Structure 1
Amino acid sequence: MKIAMFLDTAFPPDSRVENEAICLIKAGHEVHLFSLDYQGRPSNEVINEITVHRYKVDKLTYKLSALAYTFPFFHNRIKPSIKDFINKLKPNVLHIHDMVIAKAVIDVNAGKLKVVLDLHENRPEIMKHYKHVNEGLGKILISTDKWNKVQDKLIKRSDKLILVTEEAKNDVMSKGLKKAEDIVVVPNTILPELFLNYSIDESILDRFNSTFNILYLGDTSLRRGTDTAIKSMKIIKDKIPNARLILVGDSSVDNKLKQLASNEGVNNLVSFEGWQDVSLFPSYTLASNICISPLKRNKHHDTTFANKLFQYMAMGKPVVVSDSTTQANVVREEECGLIFPAENELLLAQQIIQLYENDELAYRLGENGKKAVQDRWNWDVTSEGLIEMYQTL
């Protein structure tokens, strides 16, 4: 089957898109990816057997994507490119990643081909925490309630729906938007052949070889609990003199986080590594003693998975996570870490100190997580439903 995938951003990087495409290619399908290019990349490129088709757009189009469901400008500007892609490719099915580009694709298709809508997250819910939605003109022009209504309509207009967790599936079904047989749950796990085969950067290991390292990977926005992690270091340092918090990632609030670290008197205990390529994630994880995911509670975090959890587990590291529903359920089920109430820096610190003081517990939890990824929480297993769905199409 010839599958046309659609992405409203540049590619690479996007681990979920790449993982899905690779597993479908392995299953015998031909995958072509439509992506938007804001940086002057090659118009056509083959990456891991994925044929990438890039359509050049200007920065205005990029900015208009934030207003995709306020005004029709974004969709109107990209519809000609979508139509050109479909007409040239003549695919058997359309697979849309996330909702930003979905309306344009579904409108151009006009019911001719089967549509698979792949929601990587509950976009309207996470948007409630975006800076540009809560400040200035964005606060006036962007309505998350409207995005929520549009998301429901897009789900109804699709033939099949892909979600990341059972919790998200239950939410959709409770609204009567889709039948269970038309929903496939595909968690954001790792593709072992990619993630575990990145070469280790010895310089990262050397740089952190004399400290007790607490690692956070990913977006550093406040909603991710990075401020909670920084505040916990004020407590941790009294019990773990050589403790170091390593933040690998970035966001628009990084300066606020650095100021917070200074205010808390722990700026010398926090390493702000900035954005790093995913190929370096195994090196940072290997250099760490404990890995954390201190997400704050909201509907989005409670119904999705953070990639970092499975990346930590794959490397055999004990995890400390907040009680955000989906990640807490995995940690309890697999006995691979400890849980603390979200936004409680005292209890986060206590769980980290407990693992520092109990090497045997830390090792056992880490090994449990590693085995869980080998047996269950890896892309080869969690993608089975995706492959089966395409067999029915």
Structure 2
Amino acid sequence: MIHLKVCHLTSVHPTEDIRIFVKECSYLSEAGFDVSLIVGNSDSYRKNGVNIVGAPVESTNRYLRMINGPRSVYKKALELDADVYHFHDPELLPIGLLLKSKGKKVIYDVHEDVPQQVLSKQWIPKPLRKIVSRVVEGLERYASKRFDAVVTATPTINERFVTYQQNSVIIHNFPIMNELIGDNSADSKKDLNSNKIVYIGGITRLRGIEEMVLSMDELNKGSNNPITLHIAGAFAPPSLQNEMEKLEGWRYVNFEGYLNRQEVSTLLNTSYTGLVILHPEPRYVVSYPIKLFEYMSAGIPVIASDFPLWRGIVEEAECGICVDPLDPSAIADAVKYLVDHPEEAREMGENGRKAIMNKYNWEQESIRLVELYNNL
């Protein structure tokens, strides 16, 4: 087998992004490929067998970054002269076309349904969102036909791209099997602190932060043994934190800030249940939320938005409860039910962990990724 020189590109994701670096790049390196990762505004170093290459991006605002970021990444990409370029941001679509014109193999990795995502972008003026959405979809259609492959994160996204590009492959963003399990995840959930629940991820209104905080006030009314919500991540926008702190339920919230993967594992493995209460936005309803699977991986029951896709996963695995994400009372009732039924909660956690081991794990997804590269 020829071990290709592979270069992944991102101008917006963090250097050690879970999907890009921890999963795709690291596993490709382990499979024997010569892997580099170009990242906007990153230091340059080597880790997990991957050469990380920083591409300086000078920008004073979002719009300049969208121009200067791809330009800087492209310059570094040409210097590396790889066989295959695998990029992860829609703003790099023109760069992908330029690299293809130079005879390179090019893969577009589609993490989200970008045309749908545009419709809820607050920084885009509302009258322009539908126009921008159509432009992005048109650009994706035009470019994808010319690339060598498209990698999509969900079946719904793949349904669109397979009409543009026959070599369109689903690589789910499932968790690494044993990354978050901890010493007490599978067999010792009886000993977990039933007064500690958790949310990990981006903290925004559309991801349900207000409903979660309001539910904590309702959950703890008249209680002498309050339940606390531990949230880890970053508020967007930052001013949202000040708004949430004014709510009555905030007294029962511990804001952990950003946590590394080991700290995430520790928090999950000392929590009773995990919340993933995203609003019914079109892009969320058809998404596979990585946090849902990470809670399952850690062996704790989940409380998730009652979307048909998510309900199917939760009910099949028997690993949690689905609720109306816009109803704080429903969220509070679900937490209370799990606290009042510890044995059932423990079984749900174990069921979720088994589903990860048998079906929803990165180890199985990585096999398809390596096959795609070998076919190239």
TM-score for the superposition, normalised by structure 2: 0.87
More helix by share: 1
Q: Which runs of 5+ in 1 are unaligned?
A: 201-208
Q: Distance in 1 between matches of 2:209 and 2:353?
A: 25
State the Cα distance separating 1:197 from its structure 2 match.
7.3
Query: What is the percentage of aligned positions where both structures have the same residue?
Result: 22
Residue deviations 1:61-80, cap 9 Å, x none? 86424xx4xxxx447733xx
Q: CA RMSD in A?
A: 2.8
Structure 1 segment 195-234 matched on structure 2, within 5 A: 195-196=180-181, 212-234=195-217
In structure 2, relative to structure 1, the CA distance for the partners of 1:169 and 1:14 (3 Å cut) is same
Aligned match for 1:184, one of 163, 169, 181: 169
Q: What's 2:227 paired with?
A: 243
**Does 1:153 pair with 2:154?**
no
Letter in 2 for 1:56: P
**Does 1:85 pair with 2:77?**
yes
Q: Distance in 1 between matches of 2:60 and 2:131?
A: 17
TM-score for the superposition, normalised by structure 1: 0.83
Asked if structure 1 preserves the Cα contact closer than 8 Å seen for 2:194 and 2:339, the reply is no
In structure 2, relative to structure 1, the CA distance for the partners of 1:178 and 1:22 (3 Å cut) is same
Aligned match for 2:16, one of 13, 16, 20: 13
Letter in 2 for 1:216: Y
In structure 2, relative to structure 1, the CA distance for the partners of 1:94 and 1:61 (3 Å cut) is farther
State the Cα distance separating 1:31 from its structure 2 match.
0.8
Q: Which runs of 5+ in 2 are unaligned?
A: 186-191
Q: What's 1:35 paired with?
A: 39
Asked if structure 1 preserves the Cα contact closer than 8 Å seen for 2:70 and 2:92, the reply is no
In structure 2, relative to structure 1, the CA distance for the partners of 1:85 and 1:167 (3 Å cut) is closer
Q: Distance in 2 between matches of 1:257 and 1:60?
A: 24
Q: What's 1:26 paired with?
A: 30
Aligned match for 2:120, one of 123, 126, 129: 129
**Does 1:109 pair with 2:100?**
yes
Asked if structure 2 preserves the Cα contact closer than 8 Å seen for 1:340 and 1:348, the reply is yes
Residue deviations 1:226-273, cap 9 Å, x none? 11211222321138641111111122345445534534x222112222
* Equivalent pairs, count: 364
Q: What's 1:321 paired with?
A: 304
**Does 1:268 pair with 2:271?**
no
State the Cα distance separating 1:150 from its structure 2 match.
2.0
Asked if structure 2 preserves the Cα contact closer than 8 Å seen for 1:61 and 1:74, the reply is no
Q: Distance in 1 between matches of 2:272 and 2:95?
A: 46
Q: Distance in 2 between matches of 1:383 and 1:10?
A: 20
Letter in 2 for 1:359: P
Asked if structure 2 preserves the Cα contact closer than 8 Å seen for 1:83 and 1:108, the reply is no
In structure 2, relative to structure 1, the CA distance for the partners of 1:108 and 1:114 (3 Å cut) is closer
Q: Distance in 2 between matches of 1:112 and 1:139?
A: 36
Asked if structure 1 preserves the Cα contact closer than 8 Å seen for 2:118 and 2:132, the reply is no
Asked if structure 2 preserves the Cα contact closer than 8 Å seen for 1:75 and 1:103, the reply is no
Q: What's 1:203 paired with?
A: none
State the Cα distance separating 1:168 from its structure 2 match.
1.9
Asked if structure 1 preserves the Cα contact closer than 8 Å seen for 2:198 and 2:230, the reply is yes
